[in-house]
Structure 1
Amino acid sequence: MSGWALIRIWTVVVYLFMFLPVAVVVLLSFNASQFGAFPMTGLSLRWFGELWANEAILRAFRVSFLLGALTAAISTTLGVLAALALVRYDFRGKNLVSTVLIAPILVPEVVLAVALLLFLRFLQMPKSFALLLLGHVIFTLPFVVLVVQARLVGIRRDVEEAALSLGASPRQTFFAVTLPLLAPAIFAGMLFAFTISFDDITGTLFWKPGGVETVPTQIFAMLRNSISPEINALGTVMIVLTVGLPLLGAAIARRLGARTR
């Protein structure tokens, strides 16, 4: 057997090891039986109905959607402004600012979570939803900056200069020329920020105040008691959201990119 054949076999084994448990969770979420075991006794949407009737889970979804939407809005706004400053302008300390903005990606999230928590305790600030939002913005901002920056580098400067030479103000040039060309990257960065925030658990466990649960922390709390079929259904919903949204966003961004060419 050749080396390439062994590599292919090993690749398949690794992918099966990674994704087979996910497939099992999705399959068991449609199990009619209360006990998650094979062979399945039948297919049913019963556990998704149980999710809809569970007020704690619905409340966690509301918190996660609100937190994700606010994180995406703030991170996208700051990320676009930061990318414009880093690409279009030269100023003292530019490399330092770029390093500081990208640093949260390089630091392990648990270290970042503990550091922010200790810093706010030093300032004698209690845990709050604002702290949770701040932590998510810090963690997602670098992704928006990198995505928008990569797109902005590819936009020719002379296109903007042509608009300026024809009498457009810098503000009009940004909204009429630069922003439409940046739209696919902005949309992709926004989806990245929302998905990462919605799916985060490590930092959320450190930053969230008492009585506030997001969907990942709600799953974690439910697992402390037992593995119920509701958890499988909730996991399936999370998989659909965290995988489907980026795929949908990529398709929309590709279409927007094709229109702006």
Structure 2
Amino acid sequence: MKLPFSGWSLIRLYTILVYLFMFLPIVVVIVLSFNPQQFASFPMQGFSLKWYVQLAQNEAILRAFKNSLVLGTLTALIASAIAVPAAMAFVRYSFRGKNTLNTLLLAPIMIPEVVLGVALLLFIRWLQQPKSFALLLAGHVILTLPYVLLIVQARMVSIKRVYEEAALSLGASPFQTFREVTLPLLMPAVLAGMLFSFTISFDDITATLFWATAEHQTVPVRIFGMLRHSISPEINALGTVMIVFTIMTPLLAGYCIRRFSKN
């Protein structure tokens, strides 16, 4: 007896259902952000941008968005500044304790964010220091550094040593060799690592809940706080803005990386 559905058909159907389960709630949030009514209802009674207008007038949300942008940018810059020399040291040189140090720098990627958040918070309390933006920045650098380091290391391994040796043999100093030869070859990986770092920092909430203060709240923390008190339609508008921003950032960065690689 021949079955009406083959094995591959069932796999395709299952895959479609999984994607619907994953992305349908996102579509619902985007659609409801244009609902003129206070409470969600289908079909919607019109189309309105008033929740986006209220969102643009909400100083607390704008402050949180600014904090997220500043925090993500500083995190990406600091993590990249640490990852580039660290990757060069791990790939190009041999020294005592190299594997141990490399493992320590990559360890946060294997530790649950809740544990990492509590550990850093307890360490700051042990030092008798209050929570601050510096603590939040340090936590995000620790959280994102392994991703940047792995990307830059993978690129560093593929760069042949002969390019640097040729520059040195022609009279260039080690710093000139790094600036004119190594760094341009590493730049696509550095930009990709910075993108990963910024995106993770911008979207993180699990560990950020332990580090954020009332003055330095990020957008995900602000959304979480709004959901605890009431479900406002502004959350749908803010979620839509976050979705668009999170999607457009990698696309724009990928375009810039491709243009930079061609040059």
Distance in 1, Cα, partners of 2:22 & 2:185: 37
Deviation (angstroms), 1:65: 1.1
1:1-261 alignment, distance < 5 Å: 1-259=5-263
The alignment partner of 1:127 has SS state of: coil
Deviation (angstroms), 1:212: 2.6
Distance in 1, Cα, partners of 2:149 & 2:36: 46
AA aligned to 2:87 is A
Moved more, 202-211 or 19-28: 202-211
CA displacement, residues 43-67 of structure 1 (integer Å, 9 cap, x when unaligned)? 2221111111001111111111111
Distance in 2, Cα, partners of 1:125 & 1:191: 31
Deviation (angstroms), 1:254: 2.3
Deviation (angstroms), 1:249: 1.2
CA displacement, residues 92-113 of structure 1 (integer Å, 9 cap, x when unaligned)? 1111111111111111111111
Q: Identical aligned pairs, as a percentage?
A: 66
Deviation (angstroms), 1:222: 0.7
Distance in 2, Cα, partners of 1:204 & 1:215: 10
Please report the TM-score for the alignment, with normalisation by the length of structure 1.
0.96
Ranges of 4+ aligned residues in structure 1 off by more than 6 Å = none
AA aligned to 1:61 is F
AA aligned to 1:98 is N
Distance in 2, Cα, partners of 1:197 & 1:133: 9
Deviation (angstroms), 1:235: 0.3
Structure 1 unpaired stretches of 5+: none
The alignment partner of 1:202 has SS state of: coil
Distance in 2, Cα, partners of 1:208 & 1:130: 10
CA displacement, residues 233-254 of structure 1 (integer Å, 9 cap, x when unaligned)? 0001111112211122122212
The count of aligned residue pairs is 259
Distance in 2, Cα, partners of 1:128 & 1:75: 19
CA displacement, residues 97-145 of structure 1 (integer Å, 9 cap, x when unaligned)? 1111111111111111111111221222221111111100000001110
Distance in 2, Cα, partners of 1:97 & 1:243: 34
AA aligned to 1:181 is L
Deviation (angstroms), 1:171: 0.6
CA displacement, residues 168-215 of structure 1 (integer Å, 9 cap, x when unaligned)? 111111111111111111111111111111111111110112333110
Distance in 1, Cα, partners of 2:148 & 2:76: 9
Structure 2 unpaired stretches of 5+: none
Distance in 2, Cα, partners of 1:47 & 1:209: 26
How much is the aligned-residue C-alpha RMSD, in angstroms? 1.2
